[in-house]
């Protein structure tokens, strides 16, 4: 193995969701967060992206962000750590295309089959990504066409919507009876296996602690599927949104930013690095 990476002297690791958090929920722009991104890079503080996005999507955004740190895909379906990033082999990892990969999620085909069965059993009209065309995904997400194609390349998590006025509870209960989990992001429900963002984030925290024992973790998110990993953090931020107060009740001690999306993300991260008065945040 090569020398330990630059984070070895850092006591801080930042874990962040993407959509609606670092990325604007409508435009996917992150330019408002550039000052904080630059400050993290200058201080050699790792930024670990924790998202419902696919590996293909995450690689796109990591290139755009200039990010070289591990990342979590599809609501905790897997951790992708660049080969040689940690000065040891990752327990249970497989090597794939320049990464050490720790997989937690069930195969995608199993999730799709279970969703179809549960929908038929409960007579719930659902529309999953597996049935959507790239054009439909583009219209529902406002993603550019190229990114909508990447969003269909799923491995561990199936996003879906429930049509009309159908109640979601019967379907969600049917998924649970099949031993599956579900969560809800900003736009879609998601069905997944025995994984969530918390399990992946917890594993990464332990890996970082093998390098630096005095670790301090900070998490940023905006939706219900972020709650599980935000609860693990030493400090958590919720990006301002109509649901922020309700979500805050599930994350004790979380602070709500005074602005949404990348503007709030910038505010929160700079507050960690420069310690402005706490009154700048919504209590």
| Residue 24 among the catalytic residues | no
Query: Does residue 21 sit in helix, strand or coil?
Result: coil
d(CA 92, CA 102): 6
Q: Write the CB contacts of 73 (distance below 8 Å, at least 6 apart in sequence).
A: 51, 53, 54, 55, 58, 80, 155, 156
Q: Which of the following is catalytic: 17, 157, 196, 226?
A: 17
Helices (H), ranges, the chain: 34-42, 55-65, 108-122, 134-141, 145-151, 169-177, 197-209, 227-230, 244-248, 261-274
Query: Does residue 6 sit in helix, strand or coil?
Result: helix
Give me the active site residues, please: 17
């Amino acid at each position: 193995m090569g020398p330990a990476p630059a984070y070895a002297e850092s006591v801080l690791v930042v874990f962040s969701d993407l959509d609606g958090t670092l990325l604007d929920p409508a435009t996917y722009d992150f330019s408002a967060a550039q000052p904080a991104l630059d400050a993290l890079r200058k201080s050699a503080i790792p930024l670990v992206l924790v998202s419902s996005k696919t590996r293909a999507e995450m690689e796109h955004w990591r290139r755009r962000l200039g990010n070289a740190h591990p990342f979590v895909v599809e609501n905790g379906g897997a951790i992708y750590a660049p080969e040689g990033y940690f000065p040891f082999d990752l327990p249970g990892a497989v090597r794939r295309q320049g990464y050490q990969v720790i997989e937690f999620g069930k195969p995608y085909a199993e999730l799709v089959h279970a969703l179809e069965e549960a929908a038929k059993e409960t007579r719930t009209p659902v529309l999953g990504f597996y049935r959507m065309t790239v054009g439909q995904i583009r219209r529902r997400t406002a993603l550019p066409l190229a990114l909508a194609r990447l969003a269909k390349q799923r491995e561990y998590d199936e996003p879906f919507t429930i049509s009309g006025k159908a109640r979601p509870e019967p379907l969600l209960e049917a998924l649970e009876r099949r031993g599956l989990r579900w969560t809800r992001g900003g736009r879609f429900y998601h069905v997944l296996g025995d994984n969530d963002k918390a399990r992946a984030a917890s594993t990464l925290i332990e890996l970082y602690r093998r390098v630096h024992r005095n670790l301090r973790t900070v998490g940023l998110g905006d939706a219900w599927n972020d709650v599980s990993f935000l609860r693990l953090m030493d400090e958590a931020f919720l990006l301002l949104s109509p649901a922020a107060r309700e979500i805050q009740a599930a994350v004790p001690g979380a602070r709500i930013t005074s602005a949404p999306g990348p503007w709030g993300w910038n505010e929160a991260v700079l507050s960690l690095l420069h310690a402005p008065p706490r009154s700048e945040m919504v209590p």
